[in-house]
Amino acid sequence: AQSVSQHNHHVILSEAASLELGCNYSYGGTVNLFWYVQYPGQHLQLLLKYFSGDPLVKGIKGFEAEFIKSKFSFNLRKPSVQWSDTAEYFCAVNRPGTYKYIFGTGTRLKVLA
């Protein structure tokens, strides 16, 4: 069965620190990959997505993610975090042409001012 692993459950950083959140998935075929963010008290919003092409994807608010097919990974990065990046981040996988999305368990990021 498909699964998505997010290794870091809680991350605490100071402002201006660099961020990398890990995401690995277990499916050998073609996949669509997503990162969603959930700010406190809000619904999930799309940060970025990868379907095909350039494996380095840029999203909103300075976030980027790199798809490494050989490692089944789609790690999220940001060079310099801000206090406003405090949120929970979810990685998700979808098989093209299907209606089902598999979400990781999420990573809670706290950025200290």
Partner 1 sequence: NAGVTQTPKFRVLKTGQSMTLLCAQDMNHEYMYWYRQDPGMGLRLIHYSVGEGTTAKGEVPDGYNVSRLKKQNFLLGLESAAPSQTSVYFCATNPRGGLNTGELFFGEGSRLTVL
List interacting residues with partner 1 (CB under 8 A).
4, 6, 9, 32, 34, 36, 42-46, 49, 51, 90, 92, 94, 99-101, 103-106
Nearest distance from C-beta of residue 111 to partner 1, angstroms? 20
3-state helix, strand, coil in the chain (%, to 5): 10, 50, 40
Q: 67 or 90: whose CB is closer to partner 1?
A: 90
- 83 phi and psi angles, rounded to 5 deg: -55, -35
Nearest distance from C-beta of residue 80 to partner 1, angstroms? 26
Residue type (1 letter), 83: W
C-alpha span between 11 and 5 (Å, rounded): 15
Q: 17 or 72: whose CB is closer to partner 1?
A: 72
